Structure 1
Amino acid sequence: MRILVTGATGTVGRHVVDQLLTAGATVRALTRDPAAAALPSRVELVRGDLDAPAPELFEGVDRMYLLALGDPQHVTDLAKRAGVRRIVTLTSVVASETRERTERAVENSGLEWTHVRPGMFAANLLDWADAIKTTGVVREPYADARQTPVHEQDIAAVAATALLFDGHTGQTYPLSGPESLTKREQVAAIGAAVGLDLRFEQQSPDEWRTQVPGFVADFLLDLWRQATRTPEPVLSTVEDLLGRPARTLTEWAADHVGDFR
């Protein structure tokens, strides 16, 4: 079984590659820079990206892990023409035009499909790494926003399961971590894991906005504002599919000690 992994050097894609290899699959990885990919030697590296995929990329491929990037209709058409039978997408629990366009193209293809929709990536908290290293203080708005950070390895494990095993066709899997944590609690969890005494200081939205590009700031501020009123739900999807609890934020931070010290 040959599986094409797009975004193979990304936060989730790299773990998808590792888990597929462990299961004995043949993995073809799409990357813009094969020389810098640092993927295992058993991986078939192909230079390119989803904005202009070559038809040859899909030759001999049985299944594909697809990021919500590029022109999904074109990618799906090329994949179907080449004989790909199953596509697992990585989109998001947050509704967007990109998600809708990607999922619609795959669903309309007539191929087997599964959508993996993670919520907040725990890896987003790497944005705090510099502040933690230099000051031990994280400063952001909406300290009481309750979120459910999900470990990238759990996202990858769900995607790999849907790629490797039957029984997931036509399913949409929203993912979360196993606990709902305020930003203060997130900082405390990281501190406990890496052995540092950390603090969270609340900023005003206006002060924080001066440090972040406009469209990103607007998106995040709206997300955090909503999470103070309606906490992100804790979902059982990871445990239901994998037969084990989702990894906690403390476990995630322990896997990333080197990023915070």
Structure 2
Amino acid sequence: MTTLVTGATGNTGRHVVAELVRRGERVRALTRNPAAAVGRFPAAVELTAGTHTEPEGLDAALDGVSRLHITVTAGLAEVGPELVRRAVDAGVRRITVVWGGWVGPVEQAVADSGVEWTRLEPQEFMSNALTWVDSIRGEGIVREPYDIPSAVVHEADIGEVAAVALLDGGHAGRAYNLTGPESLTTRERLVILGKAIQRDIAFVPITRSQAIDRLTATGVSPADAEYVIGWYGDPPAAAGTVVDTVEKVVGRPARTFEQWAAEHAARFREDGVAAD
């Protein structure tokens, strides 16, 4: 049987692909530019062109697929239900979906699809720290409006939970809240990153308005920027509350931010080279 992974080169999708391959599964990886993805996955992975936000062009990608992984991203809310319908019509019988932060049209369509489904509800991704790369490398500074605890989760853990839910029984109809093993403030994460790159990193507070302006300058809509910064200003209780879902599903403790920092240290160093 074949599993189609949408957003296969993204933060979580690539980990879903890697874990499925590790477990010997046939994987079809959906990406806008298959040529650019060559070499990023094992040769056994079938690369196919397309995007989950254009489901009308995915008939070939869905052909022969029995399992589907979806990551809810910008632009999917309007067309996601159509993607789910086409997938079910094509013979998909098990779906995992990484939510977009709430149960929206895509998540609801998956739940109403009539096939086995599992919804993954990760809190803040550890990889959000990658937005600090330039300021850390250039100045040794991180500028953020808030310094609140967050139970950040490693993207590889999300990928592994998704693979288990896709391949093993007992996960149908479940919504899994996913966190890392500890709740860390921004300053605490910077201390851990600093140790990994052997450099002190300063935290510099900015205003909410400055944070919104910074986000809109990258092309994010004002409404989305307001939502994102508002979430950080008043996060749900679950965002800072550690749960052991990862350990229960995969059979080992969730990865720590210290592990994540060690894996990505080279990207934060001025010379781009990992320390000895």
The whole-number CA distance in structure 2 between the counterparts of 1:173 and 1:142 is 27
The alignment covers a number of residue pairs equal to 256
**Per-residue deviation, 1:228:** 10
Partner amino acid for 2:185? T
Residue ranges of structure 2 left out of the alignment (5+ in a row): 217-221, 270-276
**Per-residue deviation, 1:149:** 1.1
Match 1:215 to one of 203, 219, 223: 223
Match 2:198 to one of 195, 218, 221: 195
Contact 2:149 2:184 survives alignment (8 Å): yes
State the partner residue of 1:91. 99
State the partner residue of 1:115. 119
- Tell whether 2:82 aligns with 1:74: yes
SS of the residue 2:171 aligns to: coil
The whole-number CA distance in structure 2 between the counterparts of 1:251 and 1:42 is 28
SS of the residue 1:62 aligns to: strand
**Per-residue deviation, 1:56:** 2.1
Match 1:156 to one of 131, 140, 159: 159
Contact 1:87 1:113 survives alignment (8 Å): yes
Partner amino acid for 1:257? A
Contact 1:146 1:228 survives alignment (8 Å): no
Post-superposition Cα deviations, 1:190-210, rounded to whole Å, max 9, x if no partner, equal: 112222211112122233333
Match 1:167 to one of 157, 166, 170: 170
**Per-residue deviation, 1:140:** 1.3
State the partner residue of 1:29. 29
Match 1:232 to one of 226, 234, 240: 240
- Tell whether 2:175 aligns with 1:176: no
Partner amino acid for 1:131? S
Contact 2:123 2:238 survives alignment (8 Å): no
Post-superposition Cα deviations, 1:81-114, rounded to whole Å, max 9, x if no partner, equal: 221110111114x32xxx4211211121111110
**Per-residue deviation, 1:41:** 1.5
SS of the residue 2:68 aligns to: strand
Q: 1:212 to 1:239 in 2, by over 3 A?
A: same
SS of the residue 1:212 aligns to: helix
Give the 4+ runs in structure 1 shifted more than 6 A. Answer: 228-231
The whole-number CA distance in structure 2 between the counterparts of 1:105 and 1:128 is 35
Q: 1:228 to 1:199 in 2, by over 3 A?
A: farther
Contact 1:146 1:227 survives alignment (8 Å): no
Partner amino acid for 1:78? R
SS of the residue 2:143 aligns to: strand
The whole-number CA distance in structure 1 between the counterparts of 2:253 and 2:112 is 33
Q: 1:102 to 1:136 in 2, by over 3 A?
A: same
State the partner residue of 1:45. 47
Residue ranges of structure 1 left out of the alignment (5+ in a row): none
The whole-number CA distance in structure 2 between the counterparts of 1:132 and 1:11 is 21
SS of the residue 2:176 aligns to: strand
Match 2:261 to one of 253, 256, 261: 253
SS of the residue 1:156 aligns to: helix
Greater displacement, 200-209 / 169-178:
200-209
- Tell whether 2:72 aligns with 1:64: no
Q: 1:209 to 1:80 in 2, by over 3 A?
A: closer
Contact 2:124 2:239 survives alignment (8 Å): no
RMSD (CA atoms): 1.8
Contact 1:4 1:29 survives alignment (8 Å): yes
State the partner residue of 2:3. 3
State the partner residue of 2:274. none
TM-score using structure 1 length: 0.92
